Amino acid sequence: MSTAEATVGPGGRVTIPKSVRDQLHIRPGTKIEFLRARDGRWTVRLTDADGQVIRLIDERQPTRRFAEFRGHAGPGLTTDEVMALTRGDE
């Protein structure tokens, strides 16, 4: 894990460290939007001069690969029902 920090200066200006700009492909003319969701979470959208989204940084992104899908399959079959299907019972 690497870190970078910036300090907010007079007028609310921040200089984004070069290492961060390089990694996020932030160039002169990149538009940075801060979007607040209804649930209070923040999303940062980076767009280039042509309006194409370069990167979307969303704090809602799951920390684990399939975390967002947990519980979406429904209750499913019981063990007895699965066994009946695999045996060909009617």
Distance (Å, rounded) from C-alpha 77 to C-alpha 31? 49
pLDDT tens digits along 75-90:
778 888 888 889 887 6
DSSP state of 74: -
Distance (Å, rounded) from C-alpha 42 to C-alpha 59? 6
Q: Is the pTM of this model over 0.75?
A: no
Flag whether pLDDT at 4 surpasses 70.
yes
In this structure, what are the phi and psi dihedrals at residue 78, rounded to the nearest 5 degrees?
-75, 165
Kindly state the average pLDDT of the residues 26-46.
89
**Architecture of the domain whose range is 1-63:** Ribbon (2.10)
Residue 88 has what pLDDT? 81
Query: Which runs of E-coded beta strand occur in the chain?
Result: 31-36, 42-47, 53-58
* CA neighbor of 41 nearest in space, from 55, 21, 24, 61: 61
